[in-house]
Amino acid sequence: MRFVQYDLEIPFYDVDAYRIVWHGHYPKYFEVARCQLLEEIGFPYEKMEEAGYFFPVIDLQVKYVKPIKFKQQVKVVCMPKQWENKLVIQYRIQDALTDEILTKAQSSQVAVKMPEEVTQFQSPRQLIDAVEAWLT
């Protein structure tokens, strides 16, 4: 399965009193990786909006397998898992040197037709085509 990788060194401002990444910062890492993925797929947020849709995150599950520390070099790997009715993206944060899996996560997004704000039960054709073309 094709994936996108975002490399990161953990900055001081992301760690808490235990000197590990505070759990609330992880969604930002996923967001950067997700934007990179959508850019590579060719259907980033700007194009979604031009097509008449917002694509809010409606679900996020995170499993904090191991703590991530200040200055640790990590890679956030992400790939699309489902896209026909909602866009589900799977993430793994791994140590850049050892490949050890530190975090597992999954986000879901749905298309919302704008400005009517109507949740769509089917992803826009442009997104489906873009993901399937990128994967082949």
59 binds other proteins (CB under 8 A): yes
The 3-state secondary structure of the chain reads CCCEEEEEECCHHHECCCCEECHHHHHHHHHHHHHHHHHHHCCCHHHHHHCCEECCEEEEEEEECCCCECCCEEEEEEEEEECCCCEEEEEEEEECCCCCEEEEEEEEECCEECCCCEECCCCCHHHHHHHHHHHC
User: Near other proteins by CB under 8 A, which window of 20-28, 43-51, 95-103, 117-125?
Assistant: 117-125
| Binding window for other proteins (CB under 8 A); candidates: 1-9, 17-25, 32-40, 120-128 | 120-128
Considering the rule CB under 8 A, would residue 121 count as an interface residue with other proteins?
yes
Q: How far apart are CA 119 and CA 51, in angstroms?
A: 15
Nearest to other proteins of 34, 86 (CB atom)? 86
C-alpha distance from residue 3 to each of 13, 24, 75, 80 (Å): 28, 24, 12, 8
Of the listed pieces 33-41, 78-86, 99-107, 125-133, which binds other proteins according to CB under 8 A? 78-86
Among 48, 102, 110, 130, binds other proteins (CB under 8 A): 110
Minimum Å distance from CB 118 to other proteins? Answer: 8
Among 85, 90, 106, 126, binds other proteins (CB under 8 A): 85
Q: How far is the CB of 31 from other proteins (least distance, A)?
A: 20
Q: Which is nearer to other proteins, 12 or 121 (CB)?
A: 121
